[in-house]
Structure 1
Amino acid sequence: MLIYVNFFMPNACLLALASVILRLIISFMARRNGCVFCFNPL
């Protein structure tokens, strides 16, 4: 993830926000399916 932030410095905040939202969605879906450790994005 640090590589992307270094390459896209103007979009660093947007990228971080998208990463957090994606992680929340994936963790929510994983909990709904009863799998906590299936999807663990870096």
Structure 2
Amino acid sequence: MPLAKACNGKLTSEKAGKVVGSISGNIAQEQMRMTQEQMAKK
């Protein structure tokens, strides 16, 4: 779901949760990848 550049005040909590879930999922995947790389170096 694309966000508006200015105001997203009309965004429902359900839609906002999907956006945040998507972003945090990407962050978690990146953290896992970095951890795996660090463990492989040891």
Contiguous gaps of at least 5 residues in structure 1 = 1-8, 36-42
Q: TM-score under structure 2 normalisation?
A: 0.57
Q: Which consecutive aligned stretches of 4+ in structure 1 deviate over 3 angstroms post-superposition?
A: none
Aligned alpha-carbon RMSD (Å): 2.2
The unaligned stretches of length 5 or more in structure 2 are: 1-13
* TM-score (norm. length: structure 1): 0.57
Whose RCO is larger (CA < 8 A, sep 6+)? 2
What is aligned with 1:31? 37
Q: Percent identity?
A: 4
Q: Find the structure with the greater CA-based Rg.
A: 2
Which of 15, 20, 28 is the matching residue for 2:21?
Answer: 15
Task: Give the number of aligned pairs.
Answer: 28
